[in-house]
Structure 1
Amino acid sequence: MTAPIIRETVDADLPVITAIYADEVLHGTATFELDPPDAAEMASRVAAVRGLDLPWLTAEVDGVVVGYAYLAPFRLRPAYRYCVELSVYLAPEARGRGIGRLLMEALIARARAMGLRHLIGVIGDSANAGSIALHKATGFREAGVWRETGWKFERWIDVVLMQLDLTPDGRPPGSEGLRL
């Protein structure tokens, strides 16, 4: 395997991004969606993120898209304009190979460069040890657990909140934040 390439997402990536997300919707707990969105809906989601000047990145190995990650507003009120949610999705065969970490590190660097204050990880399923460990390895700390808030696969599932403080000293913002 050659080294993964982390790059901006392009329209040609949408079919694979849609398939990666559909697999997680149908078989995983990283999302609480129950019906996979189609390519048009995924394109709309990418456009919405880009419309806020936030990154949507793709991971590629040997010319094959194996994952993607993006930043999105944590909440749509102006007071939250310095806080974004980070999401990472990988094809099953790409997991455990360090690709998720590369995507996360690229997004963390982008968030810092944008003058943002906090990154929030919203992890479906407190049993998702891999995602929790990845967040911790990149500097996130646990911020709380919403117990049994999602019903999927005929069971209640927790949501683990993790937070990375980009300016832990609390200094004033260095930018205008997101345009919400």
Structure 2
Amino acid sequence: MTDADADAVMAIYADGIATGQATFQDQAGDWSAFSAGKLATPRIVACDADGGILGFAVLSPTSTRPVYKGVCEVSVYVSGAARGRGVGNLLMQRLVMESEAMGIWLLTASIFPENPASLILHTTHGFRCVGRHRGPARMTYGPMAGRWRDTLRLERRSTVAGV
């Protein structure tokens, strides 16, 4: 993923937001703010045969404290047109591989319980549920606007990095 991919990445992110099942975030915002909150690498895009971006995967640091440098939160988004075609699986596989090569030992995710596709994707790649946050935030948009929503906390401990 490079700055040249910004428009496509932000459109896919906005598409994910519009589902009401991906994030509490109510709008994609701009590329600069989005990019600033992510690690410089790995940043992965999946493309079709014509180079069109089908999805992306990035990591966000969970803390600025040096002791937590190997702990990151996962974001995997797939365009609506490409969902159900294995794109998320390929992105997650590559993200796990590259994160371990960088020495990241713990990947985390916060997922709405009503998002079975994301739960399946994560558990397929070794994530396990470690808890449930009861209503950490209120939805501000979509069919669940105004409701406090739970999130499931998942994590994947590397057997390669940080052992």
Task: Report the Cα offset of residue 167 of structure 1.
Answer: 3.1
Consecutive unaligned residues in structure 2, runs of 5 or more: none
Equivalent pair of 2:21/2:114 in contact (CA under 8 Å): no
- 2:137 matched to 1:166? no
- Tell me if structure 2 keeps the 8 A contact 1:67–1:90: yes
CA distance in 1, matches of 2:35, 2:97: 20
* Displacement of 1:139: 0.8
Specify the alignment match of 2:130 in structure 1.
143
Give the 3-state SS of the residue equivalent to 1:35 in structure 2: coil
Name structure 1 gaps, 5 residues minimum.
1-8, 175-180
Distance 2:97 2:20 in 1: 28
Tell me the CA shift for residue 44 of structure 1: 4.0
Please tell me the residue identity of whatever aligns with 1:13: D
Which residue of structure 1 lines up, in the alignment, with residue 28 of structure 2? 36
CA contact (8 A) 1:26 1:36 kept: no
Deviations 1:134-169 (A, max 9, x none): 10101111111102222213222211111111038x
- Identity between Structure 1 and Structure 2 (%): 35
Q: Which amino acid aligns with 2:45?
A: T
Q: How far apart are residue 119 of structure 1 and its match?
A: 0.7
Q: Deviations over 1:2-60 (max 9, x none)?
A: xxxxxxx12221111111111222332211112331xxx3234325535xx42111111
Instruction: Give 3-state SS (helix, strand or coil) of 2:151's partner.
Output: strand
Structure 1 Cα separation of the partners of residues 19 and 87 of structure 2: 20
Query: Aligned match of 1:86 in 74, 81, 85?
Result: 74
Instruction: Give the match for residue 64 of structure 2.
Output: 76
Task: Say whether the 8 Å CA contact 1:82–1:115 is kept in structure 2.
Answer: yes
Counting only pairs closer than 5 Å after superposition, residues 48-59 of structure 1 correspond to structure 2 as 48-50=37-39, 53-59=40-46
- Cα distance in 2 for partners of 1:12, 1:114 equals 24
How far is the alpha carbon of 1:113 from its aligned partner? 0.8
Query: How far does the alpha carbon of each residue in 1:103-122 deviate from its partner, in whole angstroms, 9 at most, with x for none?
Result: 11111001111122111112
Pick from 1, 5, 14 the counterpart of residue 13 of structure 1: 5
| CA–CA separation in structure 2 for the residues paired with 1:127 and 1:44 | 28
Query: Equivalent residue for 1:45?
Result: 34
Give the distance between the partners of 1:140 and 1:93, measured in 2 at CA.
Answer: 26
